[in-house]
Structure 1
């Protein structure tokens, strides 16, 4: 069978076995490094992934003095079968919990996400337009052009999973350590309960937005960028193309550029005179 979520790419993923893979990352604010203000950043991993793909980014921002939360989404970092018993509402609830923690403890909060993590933080920005100071997206997913996903509502009852979508990384020797299988019930929830309502609400998003897009991405097609660009109400919208990375760009050749440019973006949109 064809995997409706992947168009081909590098080596197949392996099951996460290192106990460090699913462990969330947390760092407290150091206002002495950020002009006396406490600034929080939420970074959310993608579908079938884990905090492992976001921790280098989180550590880089923590070194700048920002409070950072990299939560583990329910059903991730264990076995793919567990993910099939959960869905968008569970993932958004955990993302919201991390966001509220940062909101309570800091003066301003910026949200960022990879792939489905991008759609989760866009949902936050649509639901809390006055509380999100900025958005950083890395190959976010809100849509797919593949016609075969229309069969998911039926396929999910017949086939529990398809081959995995993890490890789309150009840099040799680097692995995302995501699931080896794509759970179809969970995938259907992401698209039907998550993406579809979000696309209808993108106009509610007004926060400054920094968008990183890999020129070659074997997981998320260009329609997500087109839809987000055309529908958000953000007047401050910056696109940055990544020519040396595939989908998991936070672990790929352009990772340092993401870390550096997002840190500058966070500084700019959360400064005392921003907005």
Structure 2
């Protein structure tokens, strides 16, 4: 149940995923804005809307851009809520132990990937639907960027155990990119209080799927829950 006397700033930083852009999390941003939140969705270097090519940047630059915005929000508002989608989830976990994050949401976080067999099955489903966008993305993503992404995953996965703030883990059970077991991994390895919500009909782009409304409502309900524990974590 939401606090009757809200004392925290309604501010949220949203981080998009690898090769994606703000469009991946904008439905959540719009939903939070309708609840009175100030929402920030930075574009990570080399991604949508950036003049630099994805093959010319490093994983450290993705983290540094997210840190710049986290620092700005911390200086302006004192504390903020945070959500990261896919690769953005790992970056969000890194930020959560270094900035005054009140509550954290990890959405389809890039921790464990699908087996080749399941990936092939999902790709065959895309062929049947005549959806060629997934193949186009695989063919056009620079190898340099893929290697940078792999280095980011290896470097930031160790940050998960350092997270002490209340965290909601969101995972689509039909995710064709990130294995649903990732949610279990996060539940077992995050350092603070953890809630996990699975969405049985959702694929990887969970905010562009059929359960978008339910996912957004679950996240806003988590943010608007009793903030006593979250405030305690920030002050400690």
Global fold match (TM > 0.5): yes
Pick from 194, 210, 224 the counterpart of residue 182 of structure 2: 224
Scaled by the length of structure 2, what TM-score is found? 0.79
1:199 paired with 2:157, answer yes
Distance (Å, rounded) in 1 between the aligned partners of 2:148 and 2:29: 27
Q: Within 5 A, what are the aligned runs for 1:61-140?
A: 61-77=32-48, 82-128=53-99, 131-140=100-109
Give 1 or 2: higher helix fraction: 2
SS in structure 2 of the partner of residue 265 of structure 1: helix
Cα distance per residue 1:240-269 (max 9 Å; x no partner): 111121000011111111211111211225
Give the number of equivalent residue pairs. 215
Question: Which consecutive residues of structure 2, in runs of 5 or more, have no partner in the other structure?
Answer: 117-122
Asked if the contact 1:80–1:183 (Cα under 8 Å) also holds between the matched residues in 2, the reply is: no
Cα distance per residue 1:133-162 (max 9 Å; x no partner): 111121110243658xxxxxxxxxxxxxxx
Question: Partner of 2:111 in structure 1?
Answer: 142
Question: Which consecutive residues of structure 1, in runs of 5 or more, have no partner in the other structure?
Answer: 1-33, 148-164
Distance (Å, rounded) in 1 between the aligned partners of 2:230 and 2:90: 28
Asked if the contact 1:141–1:224 (Cα under 8 Å) also holds between the matched residues in 2, the reply is: yes
Asked if the contact 2:183–2:196 (Cα under 8 Å) also holds between the matched residues in 1, the reply is: no
SS in structure 2 of the partner of residue 206 of structure 1: coil
Cα distance per residue 1:38-76 (max 9 Å; x no partner): 221011110111101211211110111111101111101
Q: 1:224 to 1:80 in 2, by over 3 A?
A: farther
- Return the offset for 1:106: 1.7
Q: 1:272 to 1:240 in 2, by over 3 A?
A: closer
Distance (Å, rounded) in 2 between the aligned partners of 1:79 and 1:67: 23
- Return the offset for 1:238: 0.9
Pick from 6, 10, 15 the counterpart of residue 44 of structure 1: 15
1:182 paired with 2:153, answer no
State the Cα RMSD in Å.
3.1
Q: 1:260 to 1:145 in 2, by over 3 A?
A: closer
1:208 paired with 2:177, answer no
